[in-house]
Amino acid sequence: MINSSKQARSADCAANPMTAQWGGPYGGVVPFDRVRVADFKPALQTAMAETLAEIDKIADDAAPPDFDNTVLALERAGKTLARVRAIYGVWASTMNKGEFQAVETEMEPKLAAFDDQITQNAKLFARIESVHRSPHTAGLSPVAQRLVWLYHTNFVRAGAALQAQAKIRIAAINEHLAGLFTRFSQNLLAEEAGYVLYLRDPAELRGLPDSLRAAAASAAAERGRPGEWAILNTRSSMEPFLTYAERRDLREKVWRTYYSRGDNGDAHDNNAIIGEILALRAERARLLGYATHAHWRLADSMAKTPEQAMALLMQVWPAAVARVRQEVADMQAIARDEGADFRIAAWDYRYYAEKVRREKFDLDMNEVKPYLQLEKLREGMFWVAGELYGYLFRPVTDVPVAHPDVRVWQVRSAQGRHIGLWYFDPYARPGKNSGAWMSEYRTQDAVSGDLHPIVSNNTNFVKTDDGTPILISWDDAVALFHEFGHALHGLSSRVEYPSLAGTNTVRDFVEFPSQLHENWLSTPEVLSRFAVHYRTGAPIPEALVAKIKWAATFNQGFATVEYLASALVDMRIHLAAEATIDAGAFERAALAELGMPAEMVMRHRTPHFAHIFSSDGYSAGYYAYLWAAVLDHDAFQAFLDAGSPYDAALARGLHDEVLRVGNSVDPAVAYRNFRGRDPSIDALLRARGFPLTQSRPS
């Protein structure tokens, strides 16, 4: 007999496409064609109620707790909510405007409260604790034991073992933080959409290559300003403008507009929000028994402690700053020779660095860009995945998408086995987060019937009006391969339990596969086949490739310092003991103490540092990119030592020991299984042209 509440939930599921099982080919696909914003709130409410009923059933089970009726049961729970949250996440990151923002503002705190209802369920935690302590657990498979450890660790870290009053306060903090994260993100979207520089005089475009002019014209036309040129307040528009625009006053204007996002003293200013976030995080950490938020965040990472992470950052900082001094001296000399009577400022760095590149290495990146077509590089990524892992990509049109710009490919093995689906959302649009990222719509899941992964890559290139090939910068090409590395990590997963599958691993390891895959862009095999001129089809000249490789360590001071400054401020601000923190003052003081070069700024200033203030995700964790860079350079060195970046045995080992296992193996062990030893920092320092050391991350 079906009880009335279950009947009601079934009726809700039938009426709301977001709560229904995903139908269609490939084991089910996301029903993007049936999504309405009005359905999000009821879908989330229905799915949360269903999940809580499933949790209560597990917690109230009269049978003694064991792996199957507790931990495995938890793995099977919440599937409806997982589907709804996947769709909700797509709208939040790629179509976040209008009525959806109201839904997000209302539902984010409720979702946080819902999560706490589960982790603070005393009866449920008692069962998890019992399984964790049971001598029978030692007889489980290693992967099952790791799943038990993961559940127990996550519940304890969320406060499940605390007294009642502390739990109540933790829940209140999490709910408040969820609202603050949403406001921070929506403010940033508003700042990026609201501050657009429109140019009307062609003379203002002096120095910009034709491809950038065309993109700016297209962006202006799309915003109802035909005949003008729009420089958007996003990194993909800012960086090329600062690199090529001859008008110094306009460079300064674009630079100041971009780096003041969230810091304009208006309705979208993020500084007060940051102060609240930091205070709440510090209080939560103390309640959980940690000295600081940073200590809480890193307790289950590869680094283990903030001190170890800081040690790695500071190991590289002095050499990177010294390199910046050299770079600035080279730029100042050129500016002086041109008759300039100013000192290099932050809005000059990219412009004069490009001049130094041309003078020192006879390399003009404008010569490279005509060979970097977005779609050809996408084909190159597919080819690399085929060479390394035997993956084949077939475009499909029988799958609904969230926006007409999105395209889908089926991924198969060399033997024809279905691997998963890859979605590509390449173009900028209002309501879409800036930058580039990977998302998992469905994580590989053997518990629920061998469900294959569905992943997406998202970028923000400006779409051309006339259909001409989109030309991208070398840095954008690197980012493209980086995000595809995340996608391959998700696609390659073959783990029994979804909580341990794909990219569900610690933050300072999850960036390793993505950063590693950047290396294949510059291999001769990719460049000769896919870096072809957009007009003639001729491959990029070998002499030009040689210049790119010769200049590989060029401007590494700038790239490393702008990243390290952000990572160090992130760590320091989350180690701070002050009750209240003025983020702007803290940022200035921390950079002054570090000796930050005056000619540049952090890659992400605190008022728009979405990595650490739009969620807890990368908070006290931005260091992870450098930690993972040590792994990635050390790993790629193995391919170089073997004589080929496409060495079959190493590629098979990378797939089987790293990409395939997700978090079913401790990351340090997974790396050791692949490399045969712990990582060394030497390959990273060598690649960036910095002095070598003998230290290793532990």
* Co-location of 241 and 99 in the same domain: no
What Cα–Cα distance (Å) separates residue 436 from each residue in 72, 234, 430, 620?
Answer: 35, 11, 15, 21
Is residue 578 in a domain? no
* Co-location of 57 and 154 in the same domain: yes
**Half-sphere exposure in the Cβ direction for 467 (13 Å, CA):** 0
**Which residue, of 550, 569, 604, is where some domain finishes?**
550
* Co-location of 154 and 215 in the same domain: no
* Co-location of 471 and 530 in the same domain: yes
- Arithmetic mean of pLDDT, 333-346: 96
* Co-location of 536 and 484 in the same domain: yes
* Co-location of 60 and 117 in the same domain: yes
Label the pairing between strands 418-427 and 437-442: unpaired
Residue 466: give its domain's CATH number. Answer: 1.10.1370.40
The number of distinct structural domains making up the chain is 3
- In whole angstroms, give the CA distance from residue 46 to residue 10: 9
Is residue 286 in a domain? no
The pLDDT of residue 171 is above 60: yes
Is residue 608 in a domain? no
Q: 14 pLDDT band (50/70/90 cuts)?
A: low
- Arithmetic mean of pLDDT, 671-680: 96
* Co-location of 141 and 201 in the same domain: no
Return mean pLDDT, the chain: 94
* Domain interval for residue 394: 370-550
pLDDT at residue 458, rounded to an integer? 98
- Arithmetic mean of pLDDT, 297-326: 96
The pLDDT of residue 694 is above 50: no
* Co-location of 517 and 436 in the same domain: yes
Task: Give the closest residue to 145 by CA, choosing from 494, 451, 497, 444.
Answer: 497
Whether 283 is catalytic: no
Sheet holding 407-412, edge to edge: 392-396, 407-412, 418-427, 454-461, 437-442
- In whole angstroms, give the CA distance from residue 236 to residue 251: 15
The pLDDT of residue 11 is above 90: no
Burial class (CB in 10 A: 0-12, 13-18, 19+), 276: middle
Do the Cβ atoms of 363 and 543 come closer than 8 Å?
no
The pLDDT of residue 3 is above 60: no
* Co-location of 388 and 483 in the same domain: yes
- In whole angstroms, give the CA distance from residue 655 to residue 444: 15
pLDDT at residue 236, rounded to an integer? 87
**Which residue, of 491, 522, 550, is where some domain finishes?**
550
Instruction: List pLDDT tens digits, range 579-634.
Output: 789 999 999 999 999 999 999 999 999 999 999 999 999 999 999 999 999 999 99
Instruction: List pLDDT tens digits, range 359-405.
Output: 999 988 889 999 999 999 999 999 999 999 999 999 999 999 999 99
Is residue 345 in a domain? no
Q: 673 pLDDT band (50/70/90 cuts)?
A: very high
- In whole angstroms, give the CA distance from residue 646 to residue 640: 9
- In whole angstroms, give the CA distance from residue 85 to residue 78: 10
pLDDT at residue 698, rounded to an integer? 45
What Cα–Cα distance (Å) separates residue 364 from each residue in 360, 479, 675?
Answer: 10, 20, 37
* Co-location of 150 and 30 in the same domain: yes
Is residue 688 in a domain? no
- In whole angstroms, give the CA distance from residue 232 to residue 427: 13
Is residue 606 in a domain? no
Do the Cβ atoms of 478 and 521 come closer than 8 Å?
yes
Is residue 220 in a domain? yes
* Co-location of 101 and 216 in the same domain: no
Do the Cβ atoms of 469 and 532 come closer than 8 Å?
no
Is residue 240 in a domain? yes
The pLDDT of residue 5 is above 80: no
* Co-location of 147 and 233 in the same domain: no
Percent of the chain with pLDDT over 90: 91
Do the Cβ atoms of 134 and 244 come closer than 8 Å?
no
**Which residue, of 550, 575, 602, is where some domain finishes?**
550
The pLDDT of residue 316 is above 90: yes
DSSP annotation of 644: -
Do the Cβ atoms of 259 and 565 come closer than 8 Å?
no
Whole-model pTM? 0.91
Do the Cβ atoms of 211 and 369 come closer than 8 Å?
yes
Catalytic residue (one of 483, 518, 562, 599) = 483
